[in-house]
Amino acid sequence: MSADLPVDCHVHSEWSWDAPEGSVDGACDRAVAVGIPGVVFTDHADLTAWFMPEHLHARMPPHFTERLGDDGVVRPSELDVEGHVAAVAAARERYPQLVVRAGVEVSEPHWHPSAVERLVRRGRFDLVIGSVHAVEVDGTPQMIESLFARWDADEVLRTYLREVLALVTAPVEFDVLAHVDYPVRSWPAKADPFEVGRFEDGFLPVLGALAASGKALEINTKRPLDARILEWWREVDGPSVTFGSDAHDPSRVGQAFADVAEHARSLGYAPRDTGDTGDTGDTEESDGSVSLRWWLTG
């Protein structure tokens, strides 16, 4: 296990409705194999039901079609909070060499503040991730990926960033902002190539507001985060970062962590030696040995 690598703070297991290949034990085994110090299981609590246009139905994976209603709306299954927390606690006993924590990823939490408050109180999670996967179109929540067939790609990203800014500035409980560049994962080949500099005026307000809130920015490695986004985060004195593979199967746990950790260190981010207190849970590290976040040191 390398002391230079961070904890993977964004991992999905079999307790996530959209991770049929997820596994708590498999993720822990993978963490040991790749030498990262731990994992935080942030299984989905998706409180939004999303409309999916008909042209996408044939392309949806089975775990989506199983939840697709006749009205074209995908209704995610509710997270079994007690089962999730208990499974992670059991894994913590089986893997004493790892930091193993129970977290949660909540989609569009600013749309569901009361439900999020109840969820956080019920789960007493070590880390709460806030994310945006959908925006409202004509009053109906629609997944970001579905918009590229109808909208200009630049407008999809700008609409997404406006929604993320609404999340970041809302009075809702979460610790970390996930995948700030989420739409880029689905960037269409027929569009002009993605160039992050074109969207500086969209990213900077989000990053500035997030920094002012004291929350962390996630470096999500499912798609490499453009280096300039992290550099902008440093320019606005972003206080901390977390690292997340967004793995929905164990093989992706800790992917590309060496490279992104090196870049974060070069900008002044490093782990603390002692545990730090989270915004929503009891503590992020109850044993005080490994920091989930890397903090700006200078």
What's residue 3's pLDDT? 62
| Domains contained in the chain, number | 1
Instruction: Tell me if 179 is assigned to some domain.
Output: yes
What's residue 72's pLDDT? 85
Instruction: Tell me if 2 is assigned to some domain.
Output: no
What's residue 2's pLDDT? 58
Instruction: Tell me if 256 is assigned to some domain.
Output: yes
Regions in the chain scoring below 50 on pLDDT: 275-287
Instruction: Tell me if 1 is assigned to some domain.
Output: no
For residue 34, which of 242, 247, 182 has the smallest C-alpha distance? 247
Distance CA 241, CA 244 (A): 10
What's residue 1's pLDDT? 52
CATH number at residue 116: 3.20.20.140
Domain containing 212 equals 8-296
Instruction: Tell me if 202 is assigned to some domain.
Output: yes
Instruction: Tell me if 150 is assigned to some domain.
Output: yes
User: What is the pTM for the complete model shown?
Assistant: 0.92
What's residue 286's pLDDT? 42
Instruction: Tell me if 181 is assigned to some domain.
Output: yes
Q: Which long-range contacts (CB under 8 A, 24 or more apart) does 147-154 make?
A: 148/183, 148/186, 148/187, 148/188, 148/191, 149/53, 149/55, 149/56, 150/53, 152/191, 153/183, 153/187, 153/188, 153/191, 153/192, 153/194, 154/191, 154/192, 154/198, 154/199
Distance CA 145, CA 133 (A): 8
Instruction: Tell me if 117 is assigned to some domain.
Output: yes
What residues contact 281, with CB distance under 8 A and at least 6 apart? 120, 124, 125, 126, 127, 128, 175
What's residue 284's pLDDT? 47
